[in-house]
Each structure stands twice: as structure tokens, then as C-alpha cells.
Structure 1
Amino acid sequence: MNKEAIMKMSGILSAVNKVIPKNPNKIVFYSNMGFRDNAKAVYDYLVSRDCSKYQIVCAVNDWEDFAVRPHPENVQFVSTGAGVKHFFTAKYFFFSFGKYPVKPSKHQVVINTTHGSPLKKIGNYLDDKDYNFFTYVLAASDFFAPIIQKSFGCREEQVKVCGHPRNDAMFVQNDALGQLGFETAYDKVILWMPTFRQSDFLGQDDIKAAEGTGLPILSDRKDMERVNEKLKEKNCLMIAKIHPAQDLSLIDTESFSNIKIVTNARMQATQCNLYELLSHADALITDYSSVYFDYLLLDRPIGFTVDDIDEYMNNRGFVVDDPYELMPGAFINTPEEFLGFVDDLLNGIDVYKEKRQTVNELVNKFEGGRDCERVLEIAGIEL
């Protein structure tokens, strides 16, 4: 059964779901944009423990890639279409990307783990659709709880304050740099995560694609070369992790010695977890991505490329009136300001530490490291 058919039959399927018995030991994970992020983090935590009493089904669009990898005997990987029947019989269901538009039975626990704390408008901030196909949805703090409630059009009691499960990976020793084939002898590592400028996958281009390098701020090759020379001189590496929806035909991936372009496909092929990679970053450069709320838990410098913030405000918009108040770091509008941020990092200048800590206390209720455990407690899954 395809997505369109399920959408048309949502009401009927929801009624049917109410009367189908649920297996109290069946857990389903769902994703239609690659098995990753918060739902994958909960799965990884679960299978790292003694979960043999549970039947675990992963209904994901890239199921064939995972099916050939080693996994516990009680785990099954199926397509998202084949996962529908498992949803109807499962007591527990987790999703981050996509969903089955079927209302949960009172005998089910369906958890929308989301894919981050939003700064940009999402859900009902943008339209008037029904997004409430879950028992609970996660929010990272009391500040975000009403924002999440409005975004997904749910009741207050459906919002559970809990850190994002994916953040646990930032607190575990790992070899993410080695997995990607990078040396580990750099004095500093900067992770740059630009929002996509043009997308074949989503069919959106409300932000004009940059010419030259295909990246914001350093769109001119000469500016990219200047930054590369600075990094080379100081034995530093900058990794530009490209958004999974980005049109990669715009990106120059090969020309710079100390600026390495990493795609989502490469991350998946090397089984490198983004949040493990974040743990190696001495600084983060991003824009309006939810990743920086997570990175605040590490209390390290953040730079914000805000060259198109007026365009964002006028088009998509933000969930708060003044996004700058939630952005505790240097604002980067030009190549010179980009270089200035890099210089400050290399010289140990950090003037935003106090503001980072203030914002972190607002947006993250928990310190991080036990978020998967908290999610399973919310679901009522015992190990």
C-alpha cells in the first residue's frame, strides 16, 4: 500500500487500527528518509542491551542496505510499504522522518521523536494540516514544549520533555574522523553544516543557489581558497557536511586540501554518525539548523551564517520573533567575517561562552548522555 493510498484511507485505517490486537513485545521503527537521527539512536540503544524478548521491525526506505549488515536475530528490516502491517500489530512505534497517517490505538505507544528543536517554522506554523498521528512527541525543554505543541497540533499532555536521543552519541568515545578517512592529527577541527540552497529531493529552491562553490558566504572560489590557506597554515581541518536535501551538482567536492566536503551518502556508506562527528568538532558553523541547539551541550564556539536571514524571515519564518536572541555566537555575513570566526577559534578567543550557557539552559533541560534511556521510559519499554 503506497503513501497516497494510506492518506486517502486515513480515517478508515485509524478505525481499523483501534480493533486490531497489539503484540506487547513488538517494536517498530519507521523512516522514509534513511534510517538515522533520533529513531535510529533509540534503535541502536535498544539493540545494545538485552532486548531479546522484543520483536523489532525497522520499516525504512533504505531497508536493503541494513538487511545485509549484521543485526540481532530478533530484528527484521522491511520496506516502508511492508511496514504498514507491522504498525497495526505493534505495541510500540517510533518515527523521526515521515509517518503512517493512522491514529494510534489506545493500546499503542507511538512516539514522534522529531528531528530536532525548531528555530525555523515547521508544521502548523506553516499550514493547517493534521500532524497529530502519535501518542507522544518529544521536546528538548519546557521552552520548546509549547512550540512543539503548536507545530504538531497536539494536546499539552502529549508533549514529553526529553533530550533528543541522537545527542547521546556526542558523549561516547568514537572514531568518526577515521571512519570518514580523515587524519586525526589536526590541531583544530571545524564542522560546517550549511542549510541546503537548492534541492532536487524536495523540489524547493526558495533560496537561490549560490554560484561558484555552491556554498553560502564562501560562494566565490577565491574566498574558499583564502580560508583553506588559513586552515592549512594552522594545521586545521574544516569539514563541510552537506544537507541531505542539497543538490550536489552545485558543490565542488574535491579542490581544497583542508576543507573536506562530506555528503549524506558518504556518511551512510561509512556508517558514520553525525553526532559522533560533532563530538570531534572544536567549533560549529551553521545557520538556522536545529543541530546547534544540540551542540550547545558541548559548550564550544558556534558561528552563524546569516547572510539570508531576512529572506528566511520573509518566506519561511521562525518560531520566535527574534531568532538572534537564541543564536549565541558570531554572526557571519561576509567572507571576512567567516575568516574572523576561524581566526578567533585558532587564537582561543571565545566571547560568547556566557551567552551559550544561558541559551543552553533555556533550550536543553537535560545535560545529555541518557536521552535514549529517557525515551524508553516514556514509552514504557523495560529492558
Structure 2
Amino acid sequence: MERAQRILKKFSKILKEQGAGPLFTTFKGYVTYALYDRWKVRRLRKFPPRMVKNRILFETNDDFTDNCRALFDYMVANGYNKKYELVWLVHEPEKYKKYQAENVKFVRNFKKNTTIRRAAAYRYALTSAFIFYTQAFNWIGMARKGQTFVNLWHGCGYKANKNNRKVFFDYCLVPGDVFIETKKEFFGCSSRKLLALGYPRYDQMMKGSDAARAYKEKLLKAADSDKLILWMPTYRHASSERLNEETLNNEFNIPILDDKERLLAFNNFCRDNHVLVVIKKHYLQIPYDFGENVLTNIVYLENQDLEDNGLQLYEFINCSDALISDYSSVAIDYLLLNRPIGFTLDDYDAYTESRGWVFEDPLEYMPGKHIYNVQQFEQFVLDVKNGKDDYENQRKAILAKTHNVTDNYCKRVLDYFKITV
């Protein structure tokens, strides 16, 4: 009864917000699941089809992105798809026609306009020898002998585990040995499951791309700027209430710039110094709203912007002249570029109380300017503008502690699992 009420409530919301067409699509998804997919999934689990030894499956939270995308691109570019079948679970397979290649498939993961997985998703998951993903794959509900589940994950940062969620995998990647103990506690798993191989997307970040560099120049020209600082705050107010961090409550839900006056003044400061600040919203963060304030030198970068320009996030990160972060794992990743990092820490004490840290002294692992107020923020901008960098030696020292550096992260991952051309 409670489930039926939830479904009816969902239908009512879709009708109100999206209209009759999407409502019909959603209703159709539930009906076809009840009539076909539910029965099919049960049968697939009870009588799994024959394993396909050369089948490799990919799934990411945002379709066709992140570490899985980096690994897939490397495999196709180097001819692995001539030997292996590479299958992606995505929402809309038709969007990826231009990426079709020999032995490459894009399979619809969910019933349209629902979160109900199709029987086809289970069939490919149950028949793949390797399954690479970046969030969780608990939905499969079982693992077969001969299958290997590899959680490529999405970063190792400073924050302790708040939600104690169990994530299923055989192996999970971390950037370096220092994170084996922290992620062992985070996931509640044995250390043998944690591999200090680094992330496939590091190859994208280290190389960048012509398309990313062209996009940077376009942004700089529009803002009449010479330097681009990428600002990637971790989320505070998430789209999921369970994940909310109530450590920061201000007009814009963003660190340091906590009211209209500070926001506009900082924008004007950046404008006068010909520096562009590009804010990349964390995918869990609810959209920032700067209202009707006209900003010239503080701009948003959305996933759709990247997609429209044929870019992956870590390609664009390569183009930045400096990074502003806080407790996000991107700061750890950025150490590989050896460029200036500023850490906004105005809610550090609140974060310490609400969530805690994976390191005993997290500030020691933040090799850059520690920013608690607007004046320090502006000084960081000036330092970037003038090429002043007082933290290079500190970054190198922390890099040695946090990373297992290599020239080719994708190849190292594939070689470890004996996936060869």
C-alpha cells in the first residue's frame, strides 16, 4: 500500500511538472516492468546465461563520463575492442551513435523516465567478465564465479565516511598507499581489495586536449581575462537530503562569498585584475542561485557545457592556471599538475564536528593558501595573476605521500587485470 502511494505521488508530480507525455512514458515503464522485466530479471538471476569471457561492462553515475570513460577511450584508441566487447549501460543509447565502433555497444539501462532497470541491463551485467563502475553496483544483487567487479571510484579526499554505506566490489582504486587505510575504514573492506594504481582519468588531466584549450580561450576572451582559476567546492546542500552537510548556511550556499555585497565586490576585483573564476558545481550540490546579480568574471561550468563542447571534466581541469577547492578529492588529484591550490576553510570547524576527516591532521595535507575570508581569497587571485607560488615544495612533499605516479594510468589498470591487446 505504501509503495502504491509513493508511485501515485510520483505520477502526480510528473504530471504537474512535466505534463501528460512524460507521465504516459513513466506509466508504460512501470507496466512493462510488471508484465515482463520483473519476471525476466528473476529468471536471469535464477538461471544466469552463459558468461561471455571477453565482455567488459561500464557504468557511471553520469552516463559515459569519469574514470570509466577515460578507460574506455584508451581501450578503443589502442585497439582493445578488437579483442573485447565493450558495453556501456546508459540512459539514452541513441546519444552515443558517434562513438560506435567495432565490438562497442550502448545498452539502455533504465525504463524511460524511471529508475527501474531493464532486464537487458541485468543480462549484460550477469554475463560480463569485468564490470567497471564509479559509484556502486549493489543493484545487481549477486556475483558469479569468474566475474570481477572493479570500482574505479571518483576520488579520495579529506572527508570521513558520513553514511556508512556498503559499496560492493572485488577491487577499488585509490591514488596512493596512504589512502588504503582510510578507504579500508570508509568502505569497511579488507586492504587487499584496495589497489594504489591511481585513476584512469589522470591521463586526461595530465594531457588535456586541443578542444579543452580552445574552450578555455573562448571563456577568457569573453571575460577579457588572462588567467583562469577553476573553483570546485565540495557539496554542502545536496539534491539528496541524506547527503546534506549543514556546515554552511548563507545566501548563495558557497564558501567565503556569503552575501550579495561580497559576491559582487569579488567579481569586480577579478574583473579589474583580468582573472576569470570558473565554478564547477559538485554533481550532488543543488544548483547555486546568484539571483539577478550580473557577474562578468565568475561563471558556472555545468556538465552540459562540457558535453556541448565534447569535453570531459578532467581534460578541462588541465587547462586551469590554479585551483580553488576545500575538502574535495579534486585537490588531491590536482597535485599531479603541480599548480597553485587555494583551500577555502571558512566552515572547517563545523565540518570537523559534523563529519570529521580521514587524516589526523587534514590541514597538513592541504599544501596551498588557506583561505578563511575574502581578503585572503583576493590575495590568492593576485598571486595567481602575478605568478607567485610559495607552496611548490609543500605540494611535492604531499604528492609523494598521496600518489603512486605513473606515465600511463589506464594501461597500468588494464595490465593489473591482465586485460591485454
TM-score norm. by structure 2 comes to 0.79
Identity fraction in percent: 32
Q: Equivalents in 2 of 1:55, 1:15: separation in Å? A: 22
For 1:146-157, what aligned pairs fall within 5 Å after superposition? Answer: 146-157=181-192
Question: Per-residue CA shift, 1:251-283, capped at 9, x if unaligned?
Answer: 459721122111223223333211111111111
1:332 alignment partner in structure 2: 371
| Cα pair 1:191 1:240 within 8 Å, conserved | yes
2:88 alignment partner in structure 1: 58
| Cα pair 1:198 1:208 within 8 Å, conserved | no
Q: Equivalents in 2 of 1:78, 1:202: separation in Å? A: 30
The answer to which structure has the higher helix fraction is 2
Q: Equivalents in 1 of 2:94, 2:409: separation in Å? A: 27
Amino acid at match of 1:191: L
RMSD after superposition:
2.8
| Cα pair 2:67 2:134 within 8 Å, conserved | yes
| Cα pair 1:55 1:75 within 8 Å, conserved | yes
Distance 1:68 1:253, change over 3 A: farther
Q: Secondary structure at the match of 1:304?
A: strand
Q: Equivalents in 2 of 1:329, 1:253: separation in Å? A: 33
Q: Which of 174, 184, 199 lines up with 2:238 in the alignment?
A: 199
> Does residue 29 in structure 1 map to residue 58 in structure 2?
yes
> Does residue 381 in structure 1 map to residue 407 in structure 2?
no
| Cα pair 1:214 1:252 within 8 Å, conserved | no
| Cα pair 1:189 1:282 within 8 Å, conserved | yes
Distance 1:119 1:16, change over 3 A: farther
Q: Secondary structure at the match of 1:182?
A: helix
> Does residue 302 in structure 1 map to residue 341 in structure 2?
yes
| Cα pair 2:247 2:350 within 8 Å, conserved | no
Amino acid at match of 1:49: N
Q: Which of 175, 182, 198 lines up with 2:219 in the alignment?
A: 182
1:96 alignment partner in structure 2: 134
| Cα pair 1:92 1:109 within 8 Å, conserved | yes
* Shift, 1:114, TM fit: 0.9
Q: Equivalents in 2 of 1:34, 1:333: separation in Å? A: 36
Distance 1:214 1:145, change over 3 A: closer
Amino acid at match of 2:212: A
Q: Secondary structure at the match of 1:250?
A: coil
1:289 alignment partner in structure 2: 328
* Shift, 1:342, TM fit: 0.9
Aligned residues: 368
Question: Per-residue CA shift, 1:321-371, capped at 9, x if unaligned?
Answer: 22111111111111111111112222232221111111010001114x411
Q: Equivalents in 2 of 1:208, 1:151: separation in Å? A: 21
Could you tell which deviates more after superposition, 281-290 or 371-380?
A: 371-380
| Cα pair 1:57 1:76 within 8 Å, conserved | yes
Amino acid at match of 2:191: E
Distance 1:69 1:380, change over 3 A: same
TM-score norm. by structure 1 comes to 0.87
Instruction: Give the greater-gyration-radius structure (CA).
Output: 2
Distance 1:13 1:255, change over 3 A: farther
Q: Secondary structure at the match of 1:255?
A: coil
| Cα pair 1:232 1:258 within 8 Å, conserved | yes
